[in-house]
Amino acid sequence: MSSIVSMRWLLARLYESDVVIVDCRFQLGKPDAGQEAYNESHIPGAVYLDLERDLSAPIGEHGGRHPLPDVAQLAARLGQAGIDRTMRVVAYDDQGGAMASRLWWLLRYLGHNEVYVLDEGFTAWKQAGCPVTGDQKVIFPKVYLAEVRHNMVVDVDDVRERLGAAGVVLVDSREAPRYRGEVEPIDPVAGHIPGAINRFWGDGRRADGSWKAAAEQAERFADLSQEDEIIVYCGSGVTATPNVLALEAAGFRNVKLYAGSWSDWISYGENAVATGNEEERKDV
């Protein structure tokens, strides 16, 4: 089954006891906006998990702007939200699926298979006339037992070791001007990891905001070999996760997340930085 589910699919399962809906709305620079939006209205039965408070660790010298959360703390928080490994989890946001994909990836990382992202997000759900509420359900805590899949993630040392290696492809998920180093609105250094190619995560959606089908995702990555190891990164490890989801939909199986991403890479002064377009240089 696809990791993307339709509004119709969720509507039909809205009140099933093994379905947990998670609101992941979040706005960078407005840390309370997601919680406030949830409090105002959300999909009935949804619980709220915050990108920075729940789905990331505190910022340190290294690790990037959204470090991976401590596994034990995340498992405890999931349990508090009424989630265990038997549940089918559906995540949504209003940010094109980026925040929901972060939860999707984290749950997969913890060994959870039945986790999905709602197509199009909350605004589309509301505009379609689907039910919303401001009421918060009573949560019965669970015990979440994580089985971490360490092979899904790489760190800065792994990336350094793989630079220039045959059979390894680095995919930068940021918008092209940031990748090329022309602008950098968030991090203190502009550019990209040497050798990385650019595949903007937002191109995984159609013009109407819906997710592209598997065949369309495969077209985005048609120049890559499914035999290669694909390492995906972005600015802080969040918007890379929609590309991880898209690559898996396209049939790629050896896909890893550089969790610290660009903001971690540049926290080490000795790491090389590239600018411009790598693919244009390869074509010369």
Spell out the domain ranges in the chain: 4-127, 150-283
Do domains 4-127 and 150-283 share one topology? The answer is: yes
**Residue 272 buriedness (CB in 10 A; 0-12 / 13-18 / 19+):** exposed
How does the average pLDDT of the chain come out, rounded?
A: 96
| Whole-number Å distance between alpha carbons of 86 and 26 | 26
pLDDT value, residue 278: 85
Q: Kindly state the percentage of the chain with pLDDT values over 90.
A: 96
Give first-to-last CA distance, the chain, whole Å.
41
pLDDT value, residue 101: 98
Does the pLDDT value for residue 28 go beyond 70?
A: yes
Q: Are 43 and 92 in contact (CB under 8 A)?
A: yes
Per the confidence metrics, is the pTM higher than 0.95? Answer: yes
pLDDT value, residue 238: 98
pLDDT value, residue 91: 98
Catalytic residue among 107, 234, 238, 250: 234
Rounded to 5°, the CA angle 123-106-179 comes to 75
Does the pLDDT value for residue 284 go beyond 60?
A: no
The verdict on whether 130 is a catalytic residue reads no
Sign (positive or negative) of CA dihedral 124, 126, 132, 136: positive
pLDDT value, residue 1: 72
| Whole-number Å distance between alpha carbons of 257 and 240 | 7
Does the pLDDT value for residue 200 go beyond 50?
A: yes
Q: In whole angstroms, how large is the CA radius of gyration of the chain?
A: 18
Segment 143-170, tens digit of pLDDT: 999 999 999 999 999 999 999 999 999 9
Indicate the fold that domain 4-127 takes in CATH. Answer: Oxidized Rhodanese; domain 1 (3.40.250)
Contacting residues for 284 by C-beta, under 8 A, at least 6 apart: none
Segment 106-126, tens digit of pLDDT: 999 999 999 999 999 999 999
pLDDT value, residue 281: 53
Segment 230-276, tens digit of pLDDT: 999 999 999 999 999 999 999 999 999 999 999 999 999 999 999 99
CATH of 150-283, one of 3.40.250.10, 3.40.50.1240, 3.30.565.10, 3.20.20.80: 3.40.250.10
Segment 69-96, tens digit of pLDDT: 999 999 999 999 999 999 999 999 999 9
Sign (positive or negative) of CA dihedral 244, 248, 252, 253: positive
pLDDT value, residue 145: 97
